[in-house]
Structure 1
Amino acid sequence: MKKNWFWLIILILAGTALRLAWLDRQSLWYDEGVTWMLSQMPLTELIKWTAADIQPPLYYLIIWINDIIFSDSEWALRVPSVFFGILTIPLIYTLGRRLSSIHPLSHQPSNQLTSQPTHPNSSFFILHSPFSFLAAFFFTLSPLMIYYSQEARMYTLLTFEATLAGYLLLKILHPTIKETQDSNRLKTRLLNPLLYAVVSAMALYTHYFAAFLLVAHALYALFVLWQSEASRSKLLPLLLAFGGSVLLFAPWLPILLARLGDDPSYWPGALKLNEAIRKVAITFIAGETVIEQIGWWLTLAFLTLIVLSFICLLIPNQPTSPSHPNSSFIFHLSSLFLTLWLFIPLVLILTLSYQSPKFNPRYALLAWPALALLLAQLLTNLITRPYSLRVTFYAARLLFVLSIVFFLAVSSFSLFNWFNDPRFSKDDFQALAQFVKERKAPDETVLLSSGHFFPVWAYYYGWDGWTPLPWMLRLDVDQVTTLPMAQTIAEAVEGQAGVWLVTWQDEVIDPTGVVPFWLDRIGERRHDAGDFWGVGLEHWQLNPHHFDRLHDNPIQREAQLNFADQIELLGYTQLNDSELVLFWRPKQPLPDDLVFNFDLTDADGFSWSRQPLTGRLGSDVYPPSRWPVGETVITHHQLPWQIGTPPGLYIAEVELGAVAPPPGASTATAAGDFSGWDILDAQGRPQR
């Protein structure tokens, strides 16, 4: 026992070192900036914010208290995540020992926290002493768990709560003989359910997806009650446990119900399940800091080792005696518990996300400990099961060694990327803000596009001297920047000689480049803004004599071309020799894909384009189907001049239309036929 605790302490120390390593080296990113902002609010304002948000308040309350104790540095904001990540290491070890006490479909309690196989040739899914250590080992060195232990978000807290809730549920359902014979048995029977209720409610107050964990727990409890001869004695504790968690969460339940389906931070649509499952597999095995293509091959290789290990355990042994029959598989309750824990939350999260495809594998992190425990369970049985054939004996040990070595290699590779490869760094708001501070003149201002990332900007830059475009407390994909934003820009640049434009997720909020368009109209780009990871920065020198353009019609030359009574081309503005801005106004809802053909010719019809420009109108995140009917939308186009094109006036020929699906296809593809739309006159007659 002392030896086991010695190695556990080694794991805890290693996990602590890895989670504290370079904790404050990287910039906070957007979500962490929101965490900081909430920690600065009065408590009542914090509660109001979370009530209107998609995250409940418990984690933010912890950060609020943490800010009082440790201040608001990057290190201080992230250290609670480190703390809960470290706490989960001994907890998952303890949970593993509790799982080891469960016998295969046994109705009798165990008298110890490790058990030996019922018979030597039937040891599959019967747990042994290395199991708990292996589970803690996987958790300690998991690049995914280390990554989120260094982020000022609620995910390690949620993982800790999920693990603790699982442990308490097992104590309720599978007490040891010692626990059943305890003189304070009645007190224990009440204490564990109450603790479970508190921890489960805390998980719900940390993240709403904890509800899916409770579904998995409820299914497992129902199965145990169905199998157990003493189901009546367990019914009351279970009612206290699950009913108590619901009662404790009940005050917040109306807020949750009001928020269901109300998440404006993503577009409606359908989740691509195959891509989501692939991403979950890569993230759970290789972490967040591998290139997806490499991570997929690493994941397939690791899964191959797991499948081979599983097959090895399924190979039957020769019976050694009539009392030891030829049986290599015994179903174990612990395996059911872990399988439900792993898959039920994941399936329900994917189901919930299917119609609103905002999904990230981190949403399922509460299920990751189950994966570590299942892997530990599989590998433990691989080396502890007796084998009658020498070849299977050595094959099992080879697979065990290969699995451990492969895990260590993948973990080392992913952690090396995290600590050393700038491609996996967080968006560098810190360096950009410092750059602007050092170079911004007193008569210059800062604009933020999109404005929702203001919390992390305020953390590094301060609260003065900048304007969000648009002002929004949270990301709302429907608040797309339109041409009337000129009024806000005019107020922000009044009396200023220059502008620094900081861009992050501007492709979502300003997908048509409205803000750069207006700044180009009133100033000149300086091209001295530097390059920063994940965040954009541009600098304009303003011309005060052009400020009136912010109040004028932005169209230099009007056209009023009606394409098939679907959309109007109102006109264009040429910003410079190489960039043209077209102004469109939809007359009806448009399809996702509109094909745009563009050519430059002279008066004699000779083309001066390097090649005719053909492409899709709009962008992936803002296709024509999202353009509001009756509102003006701009598109930017680079003019494809031939080298040596002489100065003069040229004709821009514009063709617009749709691509019809090829026969048998449900959607348009490049293989379909292009169908150009007629230009109609005022009476609706085709002109050309």
Structure 2
Amino acid sequence: MCGGMGEMKILHRLPIILSILIILLAAAVRFHELGTQSLWNDEGNSYVQATRTVSQIVDNAARDIHPPGYYLLLAGWVRMMGTSEFALRSLSVLASIITVAFTFGIGRRLFNTAVGALAATIMAFNTFSIYYAQEARMYALLAMWSAAAFWLLIGWIRSDGESRRWGVALAVVNAAGLYTQYAFPFVMLAQGVIVFLWLINKKTWRVIWSYFALHVLTLVLYIPWVTTAWHQITTWPNTGESIPLGQAAAQILAYLTFGVTVGSGTSIAVLFFMTFGLIQQRRVYPWWQMMLAPALGFIPVIVFLSLGLFREANLKFLLPAQIGVALWIAQGIWSLWCVQPREPRARFIPKLAAFVGAFSLLIAFITNLSPLYTQYQRDDYRAIVQFINTDPRPDDAIILNAPGQQEVFYYYYDGDAAVYPIPRGYGGDDAATLAEVQHIIENHQRIYAVFWGTNERDPNNIVESTLDHEAYEVNTQWFGDVRLVRYVTPVQFDSWVESGVQFGETITLARYALNATNVRPGDVLQIQLQWSTSAPINQPYKVFVQMIPPQGPPPAVQRDSEPAAGLRPTTTWQVGETIIDNHALILPSDLPPSHYALIIGLYNPNDPLERLIVQSQDFLFITDILVEEGE
């Protein structure tokens, strides 16, 4: 406690106004652009789960790494709000706003209104919190239950462990947290540490038994899911990455203090406030009260790292820890404000330092907010479907390489093309996958392949390597972390041109063939190049295929790729080996009718102007292509 009676009276008048203002700010930054982004893969799964019956949700969750609590809540939510991107994500927004409110309440109960307001403001503008508030997944709900649990824990401790109301509510909320995310035990462990610190001087079995009874009640409520949870947790593959501890700690600290938009590390001011708060407040408050924020901020991180869970995508499990860090920083700012130097003329200095430090943090939060809405867009399945729908053909096929994409893909796609989710199931049957891809190539003229999570479902790259070898890649486009590759299936070449032309000192174009020289806009021009080398090649080269209009460059149509769609870089070529290199050019629907020169060449991808010389030029003329009037 600090400050005179005048300050305390003002502070007592502020709680309602401050809480409303902070909650409105938190809502504004979370609802902003909420429906703009496409749903991404995991959100598609949430959508499908929410449209199922209760029994179907529970059954599917039993085979997943997420318990059913969030899906059940979302199912009720969408029946009221609808299934738009905005509606699906708004449940997470609401949970995140409630988390901000609970953070305010925790800070006020622990210390005072000022600490609560500071902590809630940090929570409101932290982009880590906002990022997952704008996602139709369970992580914002995980943070909400965590904040609610600690708010209730403080109430139970304040009652000296005697209030059944606080105790039962805490047990129910803990059970809700366990039904929401398997990382919630990290939060319960932090609760246990705080209770232990509180009980050090109690020396009473009654309170210990009371706390034990709360956990028994939580377990009773969770019994229907205990066996399933244990099986899923112990059998699901660990997705953590091996990374130096210092690097992991720096990134975690950045997320917990400022958010996802700052890279790694944090500011000196934050570290100072966190340290200063502990030093100052140990003289004023009991251990459990002083250590609550550090325990919530630190213990989940220790458990997370100890279990080898670190990777950037898993940091969402630490959203509850961000609540503790926000309280911890606020605790330090208020401690500095309360410093009373002996010299009266110097008493403004701590307050000025606290104000300047807090204001600089606020500026940093606001500065880091803007990139969140533009540079941290998720995978854009909406744009993928729009691209596929620009020119639908009856014989199109769509391959979803990782069947888990079906849910989000069908959220947007209602076309007539055949959709193949392969490899089937969890993958592993390479022979069956190969046979299915070959069947697709034989029965369709155009193929759209949507690649995501290939290392997990198709570790031997059967789908893409088969398409690259036996079909013709037209182009590749990234939509976030999802790659859309367009292929055309091969045609029989009527004739071959024996070339024997040498590129540079070692590479020879043995022969080539085209499917046509008279084409129309919208057609696909296929060309197969067969290469060889007279010596090993240390430099990777890209192949370019271009159609040059009568007036000269730039090319009207072009394709650039390492040989065999990147599967056979020139550095892998062996002497005496023939490299099959397929290329396809899809002609724009508005391509003007005319004669075009088809040329090819090779260049250094690190320096595109460095081309291999062929017949005293840096390209080889193949033939004239006549583009006729479209039908």
| TM-score (normalizing by structure 2) | 0.73
Change (3 A) 1:328 1:390: farther
Aligned to 1:651: 576
- One-letter amino acid matched to 2:364: V
Specify the SS of the correspondent of 1:306: helix
- Contact 2:338-2:351 within 8 A present in 1 as well: no
1:307–1:513 Cα change, 3 Å: same
Secondary structure of residue in 2 paired with 1:427: coil
Separation of aligned partners in 2, 1:284 and 1:393: 32
Q: Distance in 2 between matches of 1:608 and 1:242?
A: 68
Whether 1:470 and 2:423 are equivalent positions in the alignment is: yes
Contact preservation (8 Å) 1:443, 1:497: yes
Kindly state the Cα deviation for residue 536 of structure 1 after the two structures are TM-superposed.
1.1
> Quick check: 2:257–2:325 contact (8 Å CA) kept in 1?
no
How many angstroms apart in 1 are the aligned matches of 2:287 and 2:45?
44
Q: Deviation per CA, 1:145-172, whole angstroms, max 9, x where unpaired? A: 1111111111121111111111111111
Counterpart-to-counterpart distance in 2, 1:439 and 1:303: 54
Distance 2:133 2:572 in 1: 52
State the one-letter code of the partner of 1:239: F
- Matched letter for residue 448 of structure 2: W
String of CA shifts for 1:21-75, please: whole Å, max 9, x gaps: 1110011111111111111222212101111111111001011111211121101
- Matched residues, number: 513
Specify which of 239, 245, 266 is matched with residue 218 of structure 2: 245
**Aligned residue type for 1:212:** F
How far 1:652 moved relative to its partner? 5.1
Match of 2:481 among 510, 522, 534: 534
**Corresponding position: 1:381 with 2:381:** no
On the 8 A contact 1:579/1:638 being kept in 2, the answer is no
Question: Residue in 2 aligned with 1:495?
Answer: 443
Question: Which letter does structure 2 place at the counterpart of 1:338?
Answer: A
| 1:384-407, Cα deviation, whole Å (9 max, x unpaired) | 231224697455234323322232
How far residue 95 of structure 1 moved from its aligned partner, in angstroms, is: 1.7
Alignment match of 1:47 (pick from 32, 45, 58): 58
Q: Classify the secondary structure of the residue corresponding to 1:538.
A: strand
Contact 1:481/1:509 (<8 A) preserved? no
Aligned partners of 2:55, 2:118: CA distance in 1, in Å?
A: 44
What is the CA distance between 1:248 and its match in structure 2?
Answer: 1.0
Taking the aligned partners of 2:15 and 2:144, their CA distance within structure 1 comes to 22
Contact in 1 for aligned 2:47/2:88 (Cα 8 Å): yes
Tell me whether 1:254 sits opposite 2:227 in the alignment: yes
2:143 to 151, 154, 159: 159
> Residues 611 and 68 (structure 1 numbering): CA distance in 2 closer, same or farther, change over 3 Å?
closer
Q: Is the 1:312–1:396 Cα contact (8 Å) retained in structure 2?
A: no
Over 3 Å counting, the alpha-carbon distance change for 1:235 and 1:611 in structure 2 is closer
Q: 1:223 to 1:520 in 2, by over 3 A?
A: closer
1:463 Cα deviation from its structure 2 partner: 8.5
Q: How far, CA to CA, are the matches of 1:576 and 1:641 in structure 2?
A: 22
Structure 1 pair 579/330, CA: closer, same or farther in 2 (3 Å)?
farther
Q: Distance in 1 between matches of 2:106 and 2:540?
A: 66
Describe the superposition over 1:230-263 as per-residue Cα deviations: whole angstroms up to 9, x where unpaired: x355345323322211111122111122123322
Counterparts of 1:391 and 1:435 in 2: how far apart (Å)? 69
Q: Which residue of 569, 576, 588 maps to 1:638?
A: 569
Q: Following TM superposition, by how much is the alpha carbon of 1:76 offset from its aligned partner in structure 2, in angstroms?
A: 0.9
CA contact (8 A) 2:190 2:300 kept: yes
Residue 359 of structure 1 and its aligned partner are, at CA, apart by: 6.4
Contact 2:257–2:322 (CA<8 Å) still a contact in 1? Answer: no
Aligned to 1:225: 199
Alignment of 1:530-569 (within 5 A): 530-543=477-490
Aligned counterparts of 1:310 and 1:608: Cα–Cα separation in 2:
64
Residues 232 and 171 (structure 1), Cα distance of their counterparts in 2 relative to 1, 3 Å cut: farther
Q: Is 2:108–2:114's contact at 8 Å kept on the other side of the alignment?
A: no
After superposition, give the CA deviation of every residue in 1:81-123 in whole Å (9 maximum; x if it has no partner): 11111122222222222213xxxxxxxxxxxxxxxxxxxxxxx
Spell out the pairing of 1:517-528 with structure 2 (5 A cutoff): 517-527=465-475
**Larger relative contact order (Cα-Cα within 8 Å, sequence gap ≥ 6):** 1
Q: How does 1:555-634 map to 2 (within 5 A)?
A: 602=534, 607=535, 609=537, 611=539
Cα 1:22/1:171, change in 2 over 3 Å: same
- Give the deviation of 1:544 after TM superposition: 6.1
Q: 1:152 corresponds to which letter in structure 2?
A: A
Deviation string 1:118-137 (CA, Å, 9 cap, x unpaired) is xxxxxxxxxx4411211222
The verdict on how the C-alpha distance between 1:652 and 1:55 changes in structure 2, with shifts beyond 3 A counting, is: same
Give the SS at the match of 1:539. strand
Distance 1:462 1:166 in 2: 46
CA distance 1:349–1:463, shift in 2 (3 Å): farther
1:264 to partner: Cα distance:
3.5
Give the counterpart letter for 1:412 in structure 2: I
Q: Say if 2:277 and 2:328, in contact at 8 Å, map to a contact too.
A: no
Name 1:662's counterpart in structure 2: none
CA contact (8 A) 1:81 1:151 kept: yes
Q: Deviations over 1:248-291 (max 9, x none)?
A: 11221111221233223738x7564333222211111221234x
Equivalent pairs: percent with the same residue?
A: 23
Deviation at 1:313, TM superposition (A): 4.8
Residue 216 of structure 1 contacts residue 341 of structure 1 at CA under 8 Å; is this kept in 2?
A: yes
The alpha-carbon distance between structure 1 residues 329 and 516, as it changes in their structure 2 partners (threshold 3 A), is: same
2:297 match: 342
In structure 1, C-alpha distance between the alignment counterparts of 2:267 and 2:194, rounded to whole Å: 30
Query: Match of 1:445?
Result: 397
Instruction: Confirm or deny that 1:284 pairs with 2:273.
Output: no
Cα distance in 2 for partners of 1:337, 1:412 equals 27
SS in 1 for 2:175: helix
User: Higher strand proportion, which one?
Assistant: 2
CA distance in 2, matches of 1:393, 1:34: 57
Query: What value does the CA root-mean-square deviation take over the aligned residues?
Result: 3.4
Query: In the aligned structure 2, how far is the partner of 1:414 from the partner of 1:483?
Result: 49
Q: What is the identity, as a one-letter code, of the residue corresponding to 2:106?
A: L
